Amino acid sequence: MFERTPMIAGNWKMNLSVEEAVALTEAVGSGIGNVSDVEVLVAPPFTHLAAVKRAIDESRIFLAAQNMHSEMSGAYTGEISGRMLQQAGCTHVILGHSERRTLFGETSEVVNLKVRAASFLGLIPIICVGETLEERESDRTFEVIKEQLDVSMDNFRADQMMPTTTILAYEPVWAIGTGKTATPEQAEEVHQFIRLWIEKTFTSGVAAQVRILYGGSVKPENVKALMTEPDIDGALVGGASLKGDSFVPLIHYREA
């Protein structure tokens, strides 16, 4: 069986001053300690990327942005391109987070344009999908997830090739920032569905290698049970990523 390297990713959203971000990066860097088989990633606000990159120094932390524009440059006031993110030191970019989808009207078509641009540049996309409470309660979870996957990854489908470096994240909207975590069984059920979608759409080899992160109120108390599920390969963490005291234990989830 293919061993997928677990990833613990912190999405800082629109939080922290530059000083706080640098201090947190340093705390995470030293908190990793002797854990060598877990990838750690942080996604600060755009304005903090360069300072956080410097603070990462020699520590094994990957740097991501929380969003990007699909064009390389041009008259797009207020936007940031993938190339600019790479210049700031990013290797990854979170795309299609539910807050982008619901608060900023980002459709899966728009997410797909961004996925195309990121892949073209060699930036690793962390593509987020997830259903709302209403969709779950009306038994539409799988239909919604399938539609988001189909459209957000339309380019990969057209080429019949999905890079195994692509990372997916299942984030049930009803569990984000609400304190309500999907149970490990609820999350695993959707992760399995996503992996099967990858297998059917691409190959079983790709499905075995692509990591699927879970996001939604992950904290030190529930991380181990989630990570024990066979198809959960990591966590995309909001609230608990803002403090070293709660983020570092996630990296050490096996000891929880």
97 has catalytic annotation: yes
Give the active site residue among 48, 92, 97, 252: 97
Exactly one of 131, 171, 191, 252 is catalytic; name it.
Answer: 171
Applying CB under 6 A, among 125, 172, 238, 249 the residue interacting with ligand PGA is 238
Binder of ligand PGA out of 163, 177, 205, 230 (CB under 6 A):
177
Does the protein bind ligand PGA through residue 237 (CB under 6 A)? yes
185 is catalytic: no
Nearer to ligand PGA by Cβ, of 141 and 241: the residue is 241
The answer to whether residue 249 forms part of the interface with ligand PGA (CB under 6 A) is no
Residue placing its CB nearer to ligand PGA in the complex, 13 or 83: 13
**Region from 21-29, 148-156, 171-179, 223-231 binding ligand PGA, contact rule CB under 6 A:** 171-179
For residues 74 and 105, which CB has a smaller minimum distance to ligand PGA in the complex?
105
Mask: binding to ligand PGA, 203-222, rule CB under 6 A, as x and -? ------------xxxx----
Q: Indicate the residue among 215 and 249 with the shorter CB distance to ligand PGA.
A: 215
Instruction: Report the C-alpha gap between 92 and 110 in whole angstroms.
Output: 18
Q: Which residue has the CB atom at the shortest distance from ligand PGA?
A: 238
> Could you tell me the two tokens for 192?
């399995």
Residue 215 CB, nearest distance to ligand PGA (Å)? 4
Residue 118 CB, nearest approach to ligand PGA (Å): 18
Told to check if 11 binds ligand PGA by CB under 6 A, we report: yes
Q: Does 236 bind ligand PGA (CB under 6 A)?
A: yes
Can you read off the two tokens belonging to residue 19?
A: 């000083």
Three-state SS letters, the chain: CCCCCCEEEEECCCCCCHHHHHHHHHHHHHHCCCCCCCEEEEECCHHHHHHHHHHHCCCCEEEEECCCECCCCCCCCCCCEHHHHHHCCCCEEEECCHHHHHHCCCCHHHHHHHHHHHHHHCCEEEEEECCCHHHHHCCCHHHHHHHHHHHHCHHHHHHCCCCCCCEEEECCHHHCCCCCCCCHHHHHHHHHHHHHHHHHHCCHHHHHHCEEEEECCCCCCCHHHHHHCCCCCEEEECHHHCCHHHHHHHHCHHHC
Residues taking part in catalysis? 97, 171
Q: Which residues bind ligand PGA (CB under 6 A)?
A: 11, 171, 176-177, 215-218, 236-240
